[in-house]
Structure 1
């Protein structure tokens, strides 16, 4: 029996479970794209699947809506695929293990991909239903949104007629998003030399942090495991000669890392001092984060090996210094919108390989100039440390439009349905609306979605009741006539 059987709207959850059964982490969306193309073909719907696997499906207007202006429904098919360290699942080849608890749907030991599988499920349910009243529908489902919005950048929109767009990539019911930050990914690569070393080998692990989406949760100032580890290593290296053997932390550049680990050699006589210092540093960390991220803890384990390949002392010190000095978190708050982060960056991934260490940042800002300044700062820091720096996945922000009849229409529909005002906001997270608006002059966008918690983490949850309410809201928007 399907896990979602009996949940309403039935077709939405039917298709969501289908989507969850197909691996679709960023860069691994071929099977899901083919499924969408087959869905359209089976129903006689016009479909374009481009060479990058983006999908456009068109459904002509329902009877009586032929003269109404088209509406674009838009979302993305890739998810941030993260799992718990001990989870027995290969997210590149296996589907998710769904479960229900109360009002929430989640995936056991992994992220759920409600961002943005629920948008695709909504679209498929709407396309299949012949009873829904709607104008011409143009459904856009892009690839690799989570890793730089490359699908939206490459998408050919020249054949689309719609200039009103419902982006279904939001995570809070009752909020109509009307603007977002732009962003970019920045990668550091620092070469290192190795040698065979002897001494005491230890593993130092930061665990228990809450993590979260680097656009939605960055203002909460939760601990970043990579930064916490860099700080501890720097202070330890001031009193002990640390030679790194392994270093890893984080799973996605746009997710605040929850765990990080370093394996390193110290001199034989340094164990007692190491344990004292780690205890002191853990106490400091737990005290500082007792309100913002109270679950943090540190593990120190002596490993039964006394000789291994390690980074030479000089390069270890430079690596540790770069990790400790890497900027992270909120850089500026908006002066125009209270509570909105203007500029931030997140050190999401650190990985030490044989001959180099890689560090990956997600940079965001609602101001292009401020985003550019942060990128230049990262480029300069890398150059000073002898590291290379690559910028990728640069995408524009989505500017708030003072006048938008479509936004006004959706707000009025919400007021009629629920008897209260929707919140109209801009967000710090990135959405594809900015890219598509740049390509389609005159495009009016809003972004909506059901309640989700802790997206991009293994604690991600999707509210079942909210999915139904947002479904009703979308259907009501579609059936509105312009006169």
Structure 2
């Protein structure tokens, strides 16, 4: 931690470091949740932990703020756990290695956990300080945000009375979010059927794509490894009948897949290798701007069994037909995606092949349309579907007072124009608004880059400015 001791704000980075010593992938949050409860107990703070390991820590108002409306500071404790090629990091036990390079903090070939550990660090730093001016505080730290917002789905308002909520889960400093997309995951399942067929095979590996957050980066039209693999399989199948023996790709529902692979049985491996080589050149040219690191590798392998002919055809057809990426742009806000989907994961699981698509939209009817399209394609390819982890959009509040206050404080502090915007990603504010309908909400945060990838990094100076802003905003909420 020695290289962290001299960067500001020290208390924020101290607690960020402490969080990054604790494994906290989505679904593995008990240890970090218990850590937060112990933090509160050691300071004689009122705290609650529910069955989903959500945590609420309360701190009384500072002198003179006793009659002010309570404020909720909110973030999530879980993180997306992704590591780069060659990394031996074990997310179940290894701490995140934090590296400082100038104004940048990153991890060692893994996600950093700034999304959303930095929000938790802000909250802990505030309630751990005795010299700040603030209203009554409720620090709400949720679980499983990254895998479907399961924590906030289970939350109630029993221990929450805040009339203002500050969600610190945004990634661009000076941009205050006041609305977000809703969404759902669509799981398409094919029955896994194999038959004995041995012979020469090829393993196709797609790698080197940038990937990224399926909400924030979807507009950048980066390559989707699963869709690119589908194009290769279809091209091969048109010329030389191939049979799939294995297929997999992607790791997280909210990350654009940067890797995918397939093993195929081929009749003439040299012919198929030539097809793949030619198409690889075309794809590299096609993605030379947004994904210049695209790699398509092929190696010879032996195959012992394959998917049945029917499953083989259905899978390739599905991957080719299913839409991907931006579907509609907002007609209200220039440059904002309204509706998108990300074909995120394909894997063999429970004697089936599962394909997970994350669908997002600010329009409930548009969301339903895309989900229905996926159902139709699945039906035509003999697959079953189900929807999981649905969450509502966060609607714009034209009468929000915290929006105006936050913009005013930021502009006065830094003599810089602030922006009010919406986001094509799911924030917990949509669900929180359902259980706290009278609470005025806003979302903000420091500059975070390449989240949900092993290249995730944050700006240290931006963390400092957002800390100054947060302190001043709380002081002004008297």
- Residues 354/85 of structure 1: CA separation in 2 closer, same or farther (3 Å cut): farther
What does residue 152 of structure 1 align with? Answer: 152
SS of the residue 2:253 aligns to: coil
What does residue 452 of structure 1 align with? Answer: 448
- Residues 365/238 of structure 1: CA separation in 2 closer, same or farther (3 Å cut): same
The CA deviation string for residues 369-428 of structure 1, in whole angstroms up to 9 with x for no partner, is: 111111111122212211111101100010111121111111110111011220100010
SS of the residue 2:146 aligns to: helix
Is 2:199–2:304's contact at 8 Å kept on the other side of the alignment? no
Query: What does 1:461-472 align with in structure 2 at a 5 Å threshold?
Result: 461-472=457-468
Structure 1 residue 52 displacement after superposition: 0.8
2: distance between equivalents of 1:357 and 1:473? 48
Query: What does 1:171-182 align with in structure 2 at a 5 Å threshold?
Result: 171-182=171-182
Is 1:243–1:311's contact at 8 Å kept on the other side of the alignment? yes
Is 1:197–1:310's contact at 8 Å kept on the other side of the alignment? yes
The CA deviation string for residues 89-144 of structure 1, in whole angstroms up to 9 with x for no partner, is: 21122221221122111111211111000000000000100001100001110000
Normalising by structure 1, we get a TM-score of 0.97
Structure 1 residue 445 displacement after superposition: 0.7
Structure 1 residue 3 displacement after superposition: 4.4
Is 2:202–2:269's contact at 8 Å kept on the other side of the alignment? no
2: distance between equivalents of 1:227 and 1:481? 49
Unaligned runs of 5+ in 2: none
What does residue 96 of structure 2 align with? Answer: 96
The CA deviation string for residues 319-346 of structure 1, in whole angstroms up to 9 with x for no partner, is: 1111122211001000000000000000
Structure 1 residue 189 displacement after superposition: 0.8
Is 2:243–2:306's contact at 8 Å kept on the other side of the alignment? yes
Query: What does 1:333-372 align with in structure 2 at a 5 Å threshold?
Result: 333-353=329-349, 355-372=351-368
SS of the residue 1:147 aligns to: coil
Runs of 4+ in 1 over 4 A off after TM superposition: none
What does residue 389 of structure 1 align with? Answer: 385
Is 1:242–1:313's contact at 8 Å kept on the other side of the alignment? no
Normalising by structure 2, we get a TM-score of 0.98
2: distance between equivalents of 1:226 and 1:374? 18
Pairing partner for 1:283 from 275, 281, 284:
281
Structure 1 residue 86 displacement after superposition: 2.6
SS of the residue 1:213 aligns to: coil
SS of the residue 1:51 aligns to: coil
Structure 1 residue 314 displacement after superposition: 2.7
Query: What does 1:285-324 align with in structure 2 at a 5 Å threshold?
Result: 285-303=283-301, 305=302, 307-324=303-320
Query: What does 1:39-118 align with in structure 2 at a 5 Å threshold?
Result: 39-118=39-118
Structure 1 residue 297 displacement after superposition: 2.0
Paired residues, what number? 478
Structure 1 residue 223 displacement after superposition: 0.4
Is 1:73–1:165's contact at 8 Å kept on the other side of the alignment? yes
What does residue 250 of structure 2 align with? Answer: 250
What does residue 420 of structure 2 align with? Answer: 424
1: distance between equivalents of 2:224 and 2:101? 29
CA RMSD of aligned residues (A): 1.2
SS of the residue 1:436 aligns to: helix
2:471 is the counterpart of 1:436: no
2:474 is the counterpart of 1:478: yes
Structure 1 residue 199 displacement after superposition: 2.0
1: distance between equivalents of 2:98 and 2:162? 35
2:33 is the counterpart of 1:37: no
Is 2:234–2:320's contact at 8 Å kept on the other side of the alignment? yes
Is 2:181–2:423's contact at 8 Å kept on the other side of the alignment? yes
